[in-house]
Amino acid sequence: MGGLADGASDGGDSDGGDSDGGASDGGASALSRGEVDRPRAQVATGAAVPLEGAPYLGVVFAGGESRRMGQDKALLPWPSSAGGVTLMERAARALEALGCAVEVARGSRGAGEDIGRPVIHDVVEGAGPLAGLVASLERAEELGLAGVVALACDMPLVQADELRPLLRAVDGDSSEACRAAMWVVDHREQPLCAVYSLACLPAARAAFGAGKRRLVAIFDPDATGGHAPALKRLQPDQKTSIRLVNLNTMTDYDLAAKGDLSGGE
């Protein structure tokens, strides 16, 4: 159950749009032409200050094209009534409930916007969600934080309770072998409801440099030169599985907003 309408599990629709859209890896054609090396983080003024006791940067992924939604899903109100906050802001508040400083990976959509949150811009436009992860991890490194808690803007039922087990899976691993954790719903990975430690950054850069776009490429030894980070895949119970739904179409949005899946927030 990765989505109401065949939700993406590879960081496509779940990054707030169809930025990956199931395209074959290697779609970042500028890389093959040698025009760019990797994405770099450009952060708007007024960047978040790390909160005491919160070692991870919360990042809302909200830069996709939202082709199936027909409009920018990140800016849709939630709940769908007058005065509701946007899906993007709702996700930000879920991350804040963990104690994280929060910024938004907005991709090319963020140009000239004032969304009330610090924005991480990809300088490689249209390069898919992996470009956003690299830029986000670089931002976390810049702030001296331990990594990134990633949450797609189109997963409006996810709360802090669904994110805490991911943090525990990474921070609580005494062997230090686990570098990332994500939910797996019906055999579909959810890379935009996940935790990535800074140890994932070299693999993310390598995969992006190899022309990959999908987030899960960083766990592929072939794409990372044999240096893929260890990943913990968490299996949710039924209640959590329902809350991990992502919204790809207006039908999905309407059903979730009405509480047809879990009775609402």
The pTM assigned to this predicted structure is 0.80
Whether 140 is in a domain gets the answer yes
DSSP output for 48-116: PPPPTT--EEEEEE--S--TTTTS-GGGSEESSSTTPEEHHHHHHHHHHTTT-EEEEE-GGGGTT---S
Whether 38 is in a domain gets the answer yes
Distance CA 160, CA 72 (A): 24
Whether 189 is in a domain gets the answer yes
Stretch 11-35: mean pLDDT: 38
SS3 state of residue 193: strand
- Condensed to tens digits (0 to 9), the pLDDT of residues 78-107 reads 886 556 789 999 999 999 999 999 999 987
Whether 23 is in a domain gets the answer no
Whether the Cβ atoms of residue 65 and residue 107 lie closer than 8 Å to each other:
no
SS3 state of residue 208: helix
Number of domains present in the structure of the chain: 1
Query: Residue 255: pLDDT band by 50, 70, 90 thresholds?
Result: confident
SS3 state of residue 216: helix
Distance CA 121, CA 136 (A): 9
Whether 10 is in a domain gets the answer no
Whether the Cβ atoms of residue 199 and residue 229 lie closer than 8 Å to each other:
yes
- Condensed to tens digits (0 to 9), the pLDDT of residues 167-214 reads 999 987 555 557 999 999 988 999 999 999 999 999 999 999 999 989
Whether 221 is in a domain gets the answer yes
**What's the CATH number where 217 sits?**
3.90.550.10
Whether 122 is in a domain gets the answer yes
Whether 159 is in a domain gets the answer yes
Closest CA to 230 of 171, 189, 184, 181: 181
SS3 content of the chain, % helix, strand, coil (to 5): 30, 20, 50
Q: What residue numbers bound the domain in which 184 lies?
A: 29-257
- Condensed to tens digits (0 to 9), the pLDDT of residues 41-59 reads 555 434 554 444 448 999 9
Q: Annotate 209-240 with b (16+ C-beta within 10 A) or e (fewer).
A: bbbbbbbbbbbbeebbeeebbbbbebebeeeb
